[in-house]
Homo-oligomer: A and B are copies of this chain.
Amino acid sequence: MAFPFGWNILHMASPPIERTVYIVSDSTGITAETFSHSVLSQFEEVHFRPVRLPFIDTVEKAREVAARINRNALETGVPPIVFSTLVNPASMECVRNANGIFLDLFGTFVGHIEQALGLKSSHSIGRSHMAANSEQYRNRIDAINFSLAHDDGQFITQLDQADVILVGVSRCGKTPTSLYLAMQYAIKAANFPLTPDDFERGTLPSTVAPHRGKLFGLSIQPERLAEVRNERRPNSKYAKLEQCRYEVAEAERMMRREGISWLSTTTKSIEEIATTVMQEVGLDRSN
């Protein structure tokens, strides 16, 4: 029996490709980890095994990392990929000289920027996260506490302090988005449910009505909503597709009537929802 041309050969010629990826950092390595994930997701045929090695803040620890890289190369027969944000020159040299594919995340760009600005960098480390006790950091903690306290329509005073108030039917994605906005951007994001009671009354909940300018809506496809609600309360009226269709249609009608912008969360990640909310509400601190 003959296979369609190419299929068989291709299949035989490519054993599964595996590669260990070390993310080596003086600090947490979280930024480098996320970044490396983005870069590596462009090689779909390879199965990467990421290993984050944080707080490599002495040459001794860097030597251990180098030894680990060498062991991996020996055991797997191929050099692992090494994403480094090490800044200390001695530590970096240690790791660079190991048997890996060494990618110097900071150095690569710091060099370009030094040239362009005609300045030397400070070669300091671990500055990527807000230091504890800084004002920025306090704002972030305050925002997290605010978003938690104002989750799902709780604690309805102080809504005037909110940067944004997300509205939408239960389980459309308000809570994770609020927390993400607070955690990542120190944005005080409250959220408030739109419920069948509101739809029967035909008006916005009286608590949020005075803050119309801060309202932003989240919506969702009824089919997806039914799935999500079914995981939470299987076989309830609340999770029925018919109920979900009713609530979504009513919520969108109300938002349209009240002139509230909204977006559909159905296929979006938390990061995408948060970014769109920031753009639409003009909260992008960087603009």
Which residues of A approach B to under 8 Å, CB–CB? 17, 19, 23, 27-35, 37-46, 49-52, 54-55, 79, 81, 85, 87, 101, 103, 105-106, 108-110, 112-113, 116-117, 119, 121-124, 127-133, 137, 140-141, 144-145, 148, 151, 175-176, 179-180, 183-184, 224, 265-272, 274-276, 279, 284, 286-287
Q: Which chain B residue has the least Cβ–Cβ distance from A44?
A: B122
Q: Which residues of B contact A119 (CB under 8 A)?
A: 17, 43, 45-46
Q: Are A50 and B116 in contact (CB under 8 A)?
A: no
Q: Which residues of B contact A110 (CB under 8 A)?
A: 39, 42
Q: Are A106 and B179 in contact (CB under 8 A)?
A: no
Whole-angstrom distance from the CB of A122 to the nearest CB of chain B?
Answer: 5
Q: How many copies does the complex hold?
A: 2
Out of B113, B269, B287, which one reaches A81, CB within 8 Å?
A: B113
Q: Which residues of B contact A30 (CB under 8 A)?
A: 184, 271, 275
Q: Are A52 and B132 in contact (CB under 8 A)?
A: no
Q: Are B279 and A54 in contact (CB under 8 A)?
A: yes
Q: Which residues of B contact A117 (CB under 8 A)?
A: 17, 19, 43, 46
- 4 more CB-based (< 8 A) A-B contacts, given A23-B286, A41-B127: A35-B35, A81-B116, A105-B109, A132-B266
Q: Which residues of B contact A23 (CB under 8 A)?
A: 286
